[in-house]
Structure 1
């Protein structure tokens, strides 16, 4: 097996527990990667404002990939590369979500916008990203500044059906994929976690065969496809697991730490 030189991890459902906690064992495992010479960073559907709190405990010194990897920001939270969804695609996306009665959030580079402060998943997002939404009456002034649109709903079947409908509606103008059973993410075209992983490998001069990725949701499959070693969390669906080369334990059972310890042990064996 090729020695791993870079690990790229998803955040929610992978690095964090279901209660959005970074365990000490997970943080220690990430730091041990760096101490052993393995580069480490994270990519997530989260906005940039929701990733900063992880930089220090994980000792991340590389760019991270918010918005499903469609942007790249430095560990100092300053933008390196930023992609936006075309304004006409944003308008059509909002229209479709509204038509289905799905709660709509628009994320810009530095803000979370919603028309409904009482949406069912607003408290969940506040807790996850450690930021509050900006309440607005109209999305129109922000159509040209959208880094990500999220449709949130407790009707998981509706959201799954809307994912396919959204992909058809937007075509190549944007990417629509669920990051959680209750979140449908729409992000800029041609960018995903796979392109982020590829860009990071190129920045570091590392072949993709020497990259390991770990995640739990459909939006992680894109990075599974480009990395030499792909690891699905035990809490992932069977479909997501089928795209990974290995499966670790769940995020409630230190699955991230277990996977990192496995990589460290195998690298040590040469």
Structure 2
């Protein structure tokens, strides 16, 4: 009889984590996730992407369960193609927060993810999508960004590095919004108090699971809250240093099947549900 899984819930980020740079999932990762599912585990995607931007990927993966999208602002049922739960960012607060950031650093370029299963990503003049494979609609003026309910605002600065922009935003936005950084060129404002951890906790409850059942994989500072919530947090080798600082373990990069390495070891009974006790070093493949 097979040993029980150390963790019944496998929470994975997408970009820089499960996905390779070309937006694909390797065969090895697919096999590892299938093996975990076959042993009774659950795979839960926890992504900053809004629900409409993950549907083609889910179709390719055959993923039909719950997914945490929009940095925790959306709980999406991929199989039923419906939103189970969502929260929007007040547009007046978003505009005020954006004004406070610009008062400190000068002009930034903004985009928004609209709420809903068919919501669009709108980008104002000057904003360049950091992920060119994701579709977006360019609007003529910023005011158009606020015409429909939104789940978050994305910010870019023409010269400041992401870490600098995020630090300034956290210092001035206060309770107007939660500030996070989810990837290169991606500093975001989302509803205050909403994080990947709040979305993950909600999804886990619906699945009858808890933080103690959960191993989380990620690569960027927006994954910190879910690492702090989950029993075990595994950072990719390509992860941001802020995430590595709170991780329990380090695996290989997203290009080198880092998730699969850990899951294969877990299936063999080799991942212990214990906090980090020694320096982080990537495992061998």
Residue 142 (structure 1) aligned with residue 178 (structure 2): no
Q: Distance in 2 between matches of 1:90 and 1:268?
A: 42
User: Structure 1-normalised TM-score?
Assistant: 0.88
Q: Distance in 2 between matches of 1:258 and 1:37?
A: 19
| Structure 2 counterpart of 1:13, from 13, 16, 39 | 16
* Residue of structure 2 in register with 1:235 after alignment: 238
* Residue of structure 2 in register with 1:102 after alignment: 108
Cα distance 1:194–1:86, how it changes in 2: closer, same or farther (>3 A)?
same
**Which segments of 5 or more consecutive residues in structure 2 lack a partner in the other structure?**
274-285
Deviation of the 1:260 alpha carbon: 2.0
| SS across alignment from 2:163 | helix
Alpha carbons 2:101, 2:173 under 8 Å: kept: no
CA deviation profile, 1:130-169 (whole Å, cap 9, x unmatched) = x232424232562661211101346453x32232232233
| Structure 1 counterpart of 2:55, from 52, 55, 58 | 52
Deviation of the 1:33 alpha carbon: 1.8
| Structure 2 counterpart of 1:133, from 137, 140, 143 | 137
Q: Distance in 2 between matches of 1:36 and 1:153?
A: 46
Deviation of the 1:40 alpha carbon: 0.7
* Residue of structure 1 in register with 2:262 after alignment: 259
Name whichever of 54-63 and 183-192 sits farther off: 54-63
Give matches, 1:1-270, under 5 Å: 3-75=6-78, 76-96=80-100, 100-109=106-115, 110-116=119-125, 119=127, 121-122=128-129, 124-127=130-133, 129=134, 131-139=135-143, 142=146, 145-153=149-157, 155=159, 157=161, 159-266=162-269
**Which segments of 5 or more consecutive residues in structure 1 lack a partner in the other structure?**
none
User: Structure 2-normalised TM-score?
Assistant: 0.84
Q: Distance in 1 between matches of 2:270 and 2:202?
A: 23
Q: How many residues align?
A: 264
Cα distance 1:243–1:268, how it changes in 2: closer, same or farther (>3 A)?
closer
**Misfit runs of 4+, over 4 Å:** 96-99, 267-270
Name whichever of 135-144 and 239-248 sits farther off: 135-144
More helix by share: 1
| SS across alignment from 2:269 | helix
Cα distance 1:135–1:104, how it changes in 2: closer, same or farther (>3 A)?
same
CA deviation profile, 1:73-103 (whole Å, cap 9, x unmatched) = 1113311111111222211233345553322
| SS across alignment from 1:230 | strand
